Structure 1
Amino acid sequence: MEKIGFVGVGLMGHGMAANILAAGYPLTVIAHRNRAPVDDLVAKGATEAKDLAALARACDIVHICAPGSPQVEGIVDVLVAEMAEGGIVVDCSTSNPVSTEAQAARLAAKGIGWVDAPLGGTPVQAEAGELAAMVGAEPEVFARIEPVLKTWAGTIAHVGGPADGHRMKLLNNFLAMGYGALYAEALALAEKTGLGTRTFDSVIRGSRMDCGFYQTFMGYAVEGNREAHKFTLTNALKDMTYLSAMAGGAQVSNPMGAAIRNSYALAVNTGGDGGEDYVPHLVDFIARANGIDRD
């Protein structure tokens, strides 16, 4: 079987790696800041590499789950030097497509394949092996990687070549972060006009305006569950910044994207802690900006 490496076994990566391991693939992982996921995977049968170079040399296919393009680029710096020809790198991060194209070209020059497979879903879905993957890869590379993707993804959409998966992911997050910005402003207006959050929710929930994202957002806004949707404000701002760059490169007017980005920039720059504050918490920042006390 293919020998799999996994770099970034955090909120999403731990579940993905556990499912790869459960499917019988030999798995090598590497620790970063939090040892708990690594220790759990090693207890299940994974091997821990002493460093990234050792992981690269030991594996045929290496998954990356990193915060963004700068981190992915640093990881690829090592992989391109240490992986054997015929290997494959799978970037599951939400990355800048311009950077993605450059990393794919660097690896191709060394005979190493590239797959961008950004994720749709939550850590709960990652643990269950039910994530969605938007995949950019050459057809022959996709054919080889698909059985591995199926260990952790319930839905796989091969949308095109290298970087197309990341383009699709940015469009997906454009919609998702847009929902979050709309909900936060709608709730501020509901509070300010006297309707209130619960009245708003009683009308929208179950209507045509309801959706899965609405329900996890309201899991915090209405029910107070701080971990209802564990995607940080910092990551939301990063993704909307990448979307802006993509729109600029395509010379497409993107005023809605700019407005959404500004909502998350407001939160991050007025105290949003990327380690603690998640997208549904945007409702608190928009409320405070409008003189509303949600406590």
Structure 2
Amino acid sequence: MTDTRDRIGFIGVGLMGHGMARNLLEKGWPLTVVAHRNRAPVEDLVSRGAREARSVADLAKASDIVHLCVTASPQVEALVRGPGGLKENLAPGSVVIDTSTSDPSSTLALAAELAEAGIILVDAPLGRTPKEAFAGTLDCMVGCDAQTFRRIEPVIGAWAGKIVHVGGTGDGHKMKLVNNFLSMGYAALYSEALVLAQKVGIPPARFDSVVRGGRMDSGFYQTFMKWVLERDPDAHRFSLSNGLKDTRYIEAMADSVGMANPIGNAVKNAFAMAVAQGRGDDYVPMLSDVVAELNGTRLD
């Protein structure tokens, strides 16, 4: 990198964004952040050399490339379109990298609006967990044109270990939803399988002794079971309410192409059931406890 490197702005330094922003700083990118609810990550980043902006508008004016790492499309839309937002304050030639799990139809609409102002929107959703965010080894699925990808790849490389240029604008978010269909589907499947095994007299440890190391083992399985077997609350820090949001986006994407997706609907309903039970703030592996409770048992 040279001294003419792009100035980076980061909005959303929460569970994932904090580690990503810290990696950008540690790898030499000039960084501006803006506070939201939790000041602790902002103060940590400022202590490491980041600048704190007073507002989104201030951050936009100080940045060439802005990362968004927020909950979903409504938050992204507000940051882009809202008063004092990115569309009003970024200079032509700037890039917005949306690393959130967003609705692809919203992504395409925002990209068209920003293009009218000479601003490029890139969808670059994430794979893996906050642990990998701090390690700088996240997975990233990127949707943009080839020229923009060449520009942003070194920036994304500060916090990602695997970067795949999936295709054009919107394709990153489409692939992320397909990927999350797999992961949330596994969560629902593991939960029911564990509870069924428990109900017929096979406890989780014995269940695990069969699956672990076999063909059905995986990294996702291992983090899921880290909660089930060890009760590690940090095993997979992704909330059930976010899982429900993602499965609803999956359903909408299937509807948009006229596809019947009965398995997707079943997975969505598993998460909706848990959220309706008041468990939305619980993490994904805790879905197994919800299923167990509804079936009059517990996993132990």
Q: Structure 1 stretches of 5 or more lacking a match? A: none
Q: Secondary structure at the match of 1:207?
A: coil
Which ranges of structure 2 fall in alignment gaps of 5 or more residues? none
TM-score computed with the length of structure 1 as normaliser: 0.98
Deviations, residues 274-295 of structure 1 (Å, cap 9, x unaligned): 2xx1000000100111111346
Match of 1:158 in 2: 165
Partner of 2:217: 210
| 1:201 paired residue number | 208
* Pick aligned residue for 1:22 from 21, 26, 35: 26
TM-score (norm 2): 0.96
Structure 2 counterpart of 1:27, one-letter code: L
Residue identity matched to 1:30: V
Looking at structure 1, the residues matched to 273 and 167 of structure 2 have their Cα atoms a distance apart, in angstroms, of: 35
Contact 1:192/1:292 (8 A) holds in 2: yes
- Name the residue aligned to 1:36: 40
Which of 71, 90, 93 is residue 97 of structure 2 equivalent to? 90
Which residue, out of 287, 290, 294, partners 2:295? 290
> What CA deviation, in whole Å up to 9, does each residue of 1:19-38 have, x standing for no partner?
11111111000011110100
Asked whether the 8 Å contact 1:114–1:141 carries over to 2, the reply is no
Q: CA deviation at 1:143?
A: 1.2
**Cα deviation, residue 198, structure 1:** 1.3
1:135 to 126, 133, 142: 142
CA distance in 2, matches of 1:102, 1:56: 20
Q: Aligned letter for 1:36?
A: A
- In the alignment, the residues of structure 2 paired with residue 6 and residue 68 of structure 1 have an alpha-carbon distance, to the nearest angstrom, of 16
Shift of 1:197: 1.2
Q: Which residue of 2 aligns with 1:148?
A: 155
Q: CA RMSD in A?
A: 0.8
Instruction: For residue 158 of structure 2, give the secondary structure of its aligned residue in structure 1.
Output: helix
C-alpha contact 2:7 2:29 (8 A) present in aligned 1? yes
Question: Once the 2 structures are TM-superposed, how far is the Cα of residue 224 of structure 1 from its aligned partner?
Answer: 1.1
Question: Which string of whole-angstrom CA distances, capped at 9 and with x for unpartnered residues, describes residues 229-254 of structure 1?
Answer: 00100110000000000000011111
TM-superposition CA deviations, 1:200-233 (whole Å, max 9, x none): 1111111111000000000001111111000100
Spell out the pairing of 1:113-124 with structure 2 (5 A cutoff).
113-124=120-131
Q: Which amino acid aligns with 2:254?
A: A
Residues 267, 285 of structure 1: 8 Å contact kept: yes
Q: In structure 1, how many angstroms separate the alpha carbons of the residues matched to 2:131 and 2:234?
A: 11
**Shift in Å at residue 273 of structure 1?**
3.4
Q: Which residue of 2 aligns with 1:53?
A: 57
> Is residue 234 of structure 2 the alignment partner of residue 230 of structure 1?
no
Give the distance between the partners of 2:150 and 2:190, measured in 1 at CA.
Answer: 40
- Check the 8 A contact 1:233/1:278 in 2, yes or no: yes
| Contact 2:204–2:299 (CA under 8 A) maintained in structure 1 | no
Q: Is the counterpart of residue 253 in structure 1 residue 260 in structure 2?
A: yes
- The match for 1:278 is 283
Residues 106-117 of structure 1: matches in 2 within 5 Å? 106-117=113-124
How many residues in Structure 1 have an aligned counterpart in Structure 2?
293
Structure 1 CA distance for aligned equivalents of residues 298 and 30 of structure 2:
52
Offset, 1:174: 0.3
The 8 Å contact of residues 115 and 137 in structure 1, kept in 2 or not, is answered as yes
Give yes or no for contact 1:92–1:119 (8 Å, CA) kept in 2: yes
Q: Secondary structure at the match of 2:230?
A: coil
On the 8 A contact 1:190/1:200 being kept in 2, the answer is yes
Separation in 2 of the partners of 1:32 and 1:43? 17
What is aligned with 2:68? 64
1:75 maps to which residue?
79
* Amino acid across the alignment from 1:284: D
Counterpart CA distance in 2 for 1:171 and 1:109 is 30
Aligned residue for 2:244, secondary structure, equals: helix
Rounded Cα–Cα distance in structure 1 between residues aligned with 2:264 and 2:239 = 18
3-state DSSP of counterpart to 1:222 = helix
Match for 2:230: what amino acid?
E
Contact 1:49 1:55 (8 Å CA) reproduced: yes
Among the aligned pairs, what percent are the same residue?
A: 57
